Amino acid sequence: MAVDLLMKKMLETRPYEKVKGRTDEVYRESLQRVCEAILRGDDLGEALQKSVEDFSEIELDGPGTKPLIGIVGEIFVRLNRFANENVVRKIEQFGGEAWIAPLTEWILYVNTIAKKSSLKKRSFSNLLKVFLTDYYQKKDEHHLEKIFKGHLRNFGEPKTSFIFRRAKPYLDSSFEGEAILSVGKTIDFAKRGASGIVNIMPFTCMPGTIVSTLLKRYQEENNNIPILNMAYDGQEQTNTLTRLEAFMYQTREFQNRKNSKA
Q: pLDDT tens, 128-143?
A: 999 999 999 999 999 9
CA 83, 148, 45, 108 dihedral sign is negative
Rounded Cα distance between 68 and 210, Å, is 24
pLDDT band at 6 (very low <50, low <70, confident <90, very high): very high
- Chain-centroid distance of CA 209 in Å reads 19
Per-residue pLDDT at 260? 87
pLDDT at 48 over 80: yes
Its pTM surpasses 0.85? yes
Domain that includes residue 171, residue range:
2-261
Domain count, the chain: 1
Please, what is the average pLDDT of the chain? 94
What is residue 152's three-state secondary structure? coil
pLDDT at 189 over 90: yes
Rounded Cα distance between 250 and 244, Å, is 10
Q: pLDDT tens, 200-210?
A: 999 888 999 99
Contact 230, 77 (CB under 8 A): no
Q: Is 154 exposed, middle or buried (0-12, 13-18, 19+ CB in 10 A)?
A: middle
